[in-house]
Amino acid sequence: MREISDKRIIEIASDVLGIDLSTAPMSAVRKLIKSIRTAIYLIPRVEGIRREIDNVLRGLNGEYIEPGPSGSILRGKIDVLPTGRNFYAVDPMRIPTPAAWRVGVKLANKLIEEYKNKYGKYPETIGIVEWCIDTFRADGEGVAQILHILGVKPVWDPESGCILDVEPIPLRELGRPRIDVLVRVDGIFRDTTPNLMALIDRAIRKVASLNESPKMNYVRKHVLERLKQLKKTNIDKEEAFRLATYRVFSEKPGAYGAGANLAVYASAWKSKKDIGEAWIDWASYAYGENTHAVHVPEELKNILKNVDLTYQKLESDDFDILDCCCFFGYHGGMHAAAESLSNRKLAAYFGDTRDPDRPTIRTMDEELERVVISRLLNPQWIEGKRRHGFKGASEISERIGRVYGWAATAGVVKDWIFDKITETFVLDEEMKKWFMDTNPWALEEIARRLIEAAERKVWKAPEELLERLKEVYSEIEGFFEEEISLESECQGGEIVIITKDDLKKKGYIKE
């Protein structure tokens, strides 16, 4: 498209609006020109969306489809338009971008400030869950936040925009201590962005090597403490330093998941310690610069003891912490592991960068309440699920199961939420009938998890409410016995708890 001059834009706008813009204030004219140029840029891209179906058919025929970037249009990434192209994710060598760095700095400062205002001191170690979602959709805001928490900043190549290195921010400029981190990345982050794991790892080792007081450099403080412990072994200094600076952990190669969510769903736990151990079993592989999947569970445990708060962020409301069991599996599992090893009650926080100009920090119980009120207990959301019959009932049940998962792992679910879930989905006669007509298995799952939550004391259920819940559960079991053939698969109400320790005693797991 031929470039249109500012003068021509003013002429056309004056003609359309019927006013002489040449006499208008220049600041207003510049804003108008910018808006018109944006529209000129966007209109053909939006119109190009019509090619989606054509391109699907071309793909099925094995024909060429024009490539294009992916990302979240809600974050202003208009270069993803038109959709329907053969999209690629990101250039990981340019992550985090300067824009993401600015957001990450704001978010890091807000997180530290929130904690300090509430507890009267700086956190020494922050446990962070970092997923590939943030890298692909928000250009690495989470990675930027991690770096700023450590007190370092990226060094970009001025020509290519690639990250060349990280450099420490002077303490005088930083205005606070350098805070230690434990970073748990998911399997896709591990596989697709090894350079970012190396970048964080390099930052950790640089900060640990700075000649600064441990009172202002918590990374150095914790590394020196660990080196003192390792000095009692036969490990040489270089290897000891490497062990003491592992901070980036993930699953072993080829594995995907957190483990804690599986333990919760299987009821394979007696205490939070069991959930924490499942999380550690999956997360105890260290990654970094020249480091790939080093199995160091003791180093992970050592860092977990120092964690003061756990944290995860999202950049969109397209999905939330109840949309997948991985949220409580990764974040809640880390929280359970850190609390059980430190014997302390820890803080849990959530970062929200839907508005990158005004990033927000909430406690996890505040975030859970927000999500429960806006979706799970929202009559319009419920009605939308009811229109989908069997599948809708399953999705309601799954979401309630994740509420239970957050209660079991991080203890961030308030009693009123369980009360309201019970009243809305199990005790309400109309809802109960709808479940029984469309998907009685979903209702059984909901009622069983609620009873389990009460019996495990993650929900202090009012006695009368619990009795009514148990009565409905008896009705459901009776329905299965009478209406469902014994030859069919039917889930029973018994919960058999078998933990890792039980398997050790039976010889299935060897020390």
Domain that holds residue 67: 6-88
pLDDT for the residue 161? 87
Residue 496 forms part of a structural domain? no
In this predicted model, which residue has the larger pLDDT, 86 or 433? 433
- Pairwise CA distance, residues 5 & 39, whole Å: 15
Mean pLDDT, the chain, integer? 91
Q: What is the mean pLDDT of the segment spanning 228-254?
A: 95
126 plus 232 within the same structural domain:
yes
Check whether residue 334 and residue 428 sit in a common domain. Answer: no
Residue 80 has pLDDT above 50, yes or no: yes
489 part of a folded domain: no
Instruction: Determine the 3-state secondary structure of 286 from DSSP.
Output: strand
Residues 127 and 212 in one domain: yes
Q: What is the pLDDT of residue 75?
A: 66
Is the predicted pLDDT of residue 138 greater than 60, yes or no?
Answer: yes
Residues 54 and 198 in one domain: no
Residue 417 maps to a domain: yes
Q: Are 110 and 391 in contact (CB under 8 A)?
A: no
Q: How much of the chain, in percent, has pLDDT values that exceed 90?
A: 72
pLDDT, position 386: 96
Asked whether residue 336 falls in the same domain as residue 455, the answer is: no
Q: 25 and 65 share a domain?
A: yes
| 245-259 per-position pLDDT tens digit | 999 999 999 999 999
Q: Which of 65-79, 413-427, 476-490 has the highest mean pLDDT?
A: 413-427
Residue 304 has pLDDT above 80, yes or no: yes
The encoded tokens of residue 346 equal 């820890």
Residue 486: the pLDDT is: 54
Judge if 234 and 184 occupy the same domain: yes
Regarding whether 115 and 225 lie in a shared domain, the answer is yes
- Looking at 335, 369, 403, which one is the last position of a domain? 369
pTM of this prediction? Answer: 0.85
The answer to whether position 59 is within a domain reads yes
| pLDDT score of 373 more than 60 | yes
93 in any annotated domain: no
User: Per the domain annotation, does 416 fall within a domain?
Assistant: yes
Cα separation, 350 vs 360, in Å, equals 8
Picking from 191, 195, 95, the residue whose alpha carbon sits closest to that of residue 137 is: 95
| N-terminal to C-terminal alpha carbon distance within the chain | 69
pLDDT of residue 1: 44
> What is residue 462's predicted lDDT score, i.e. its pLDDT?
97
Number of domains in the chain: 3
Angstrom distance (rounded) from CA 114 to CA 110? 6
194 pLDDT higher than 80: yes
The most confident of the ranges 17-21, 169-173, 319-323 is 169-173
**Does residue 499 fall inside a structural domain?**
no
Asked if residue 18 has pLDDT above 80, the reply is no
Q: What is the mean pLDDT of residues 294-312?
A: 97
In the chain, pLDDT over 70 holds for what percent of residues? 96
Residue 491 is predicted with a pLDDT of 54
Residue 238 falls inside a structural domain:
yes
